[in-house]
Structures are given as C-alpha cells and as structure tokens.
C-alpha cells in the first residue's frame, strides 16, 4: 500500500467514524475498504485506490472537495468529485435526482467509472440480499447507470451487469 493509499484510508476511517451501514450495522468504513479492494483486482493507480477510500466523504461526512484536493492532490479530488452525487432534494423526486447524478458520472474519466462500478458491486451485494423491496427500485437505477459506465473496467462492468440478473 502506498503512502497516498494509507493516508486516504486513515482519513476516510476518521471521517466515517461512528457511521454504520444501513442494512448490516457494520462500521461504514467497511464499504469504502471493500470498494478499494474491488478496484485493486483490476488495472488501477494509487490515486484510484485513494479515491475509492474517499468516495463517500464529500456526500456523507461534510468534507469539501477543496480539502480533498489539499490533502490528496488534484487527481484524487477530481475522481472524488465525479463519484459524489451532485443532486439535492431541490432537484425533484428520486428519479429526477438519479438522472442528474447519472448525467454527471457519464462525463467522468474512465478511472472514476471503474471506481463507480466497484461501488455498485459492493452496494448491490447488500441491497439485493437484505432489502428485496428496494432492490426492485435499485436494480432499475443500476441498469440505467450501467449504460453510462461502459468505458469503465470491462471485467467490473460485466460483474456489475451480472448482478442485475
């Protein structure tokens, strides 16, 4: 593990301290760690692993992109920016918000799309197994999202698509 990756893991662990996963109650940091582990199975850079650890800190922890850039550099901050939802409740209902967020990630570089695929893979495992009612909604959203992630890592794209069954 590079120094950048170690620093990102420490920072994300502290930022997510006290947060738990919705369905399992496990420490939230387990999710970014799982995403980073999935990214590590394909061609990647230290910046991608760092961004995988940090992918939820802007949305969920009140960390700013400026702080991410200052601590981890412009490349990591750019990846985190693309991985962070841009919609707010003011953008309308869930469908409208997801469409906006999908347009945002569609513009992302390949490395960000690869991390997003890893995020989807890890989230799907939990949702499909533990919330069958929400899975019906999430599955449709994920299928639409996969349409804009086709230039992410092909093996992860195939894995994510296979989860939609």
The residues assigned a catalytic role are 59-60
Give the number of other CB atoms < 10 A from CB of residue 43.
Answer: 10
H or E, element range at 91: none
Residues 6+ apart with CB under 8 A from 1: 9, 49
Could you give the CA distance from residue 10 to residue 159 in angstroms, rounded to a whole number? Answer: 29
C-beta separation of 57 from 68 below 8 A: yes
3-class secondary structure, 147: coil
């Amino acid at each position: 593990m590079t120094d950048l990756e170690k620093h990102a893991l420490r920072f994300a662990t502290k930022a997510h301290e006290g947060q738990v996963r919705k369905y399992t109650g496990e420490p939230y940091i387990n999710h970014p760690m799982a995403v980073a582990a999935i990214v590590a199975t394909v061609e990647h850079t230290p910046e991608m692993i760092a961004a995988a650890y940090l992918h939820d800190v802007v949305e969920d922890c009140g960390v700013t992109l400026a702080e991410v850039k200052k601590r981890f550099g412009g490349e990591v901050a750019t990846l985190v920016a693309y991985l962070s939802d841009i919609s707010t409740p003011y953008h309308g209902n869930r469908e409208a918000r997801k469409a906006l967020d999908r347009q945002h990630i569609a513009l992302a570089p390949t490395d960000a799309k690869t991390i997003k695929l890893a995020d989807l893979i890890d989230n799907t495992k939990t949702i499909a197994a533990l919330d069958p009612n929400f899975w019906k909604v999430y599955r449709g959203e994920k299928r639409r999202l996969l349409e804009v992630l086709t230039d992410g890592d092909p093996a992860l794209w195939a894995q994510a698509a296979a989860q939609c069954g």
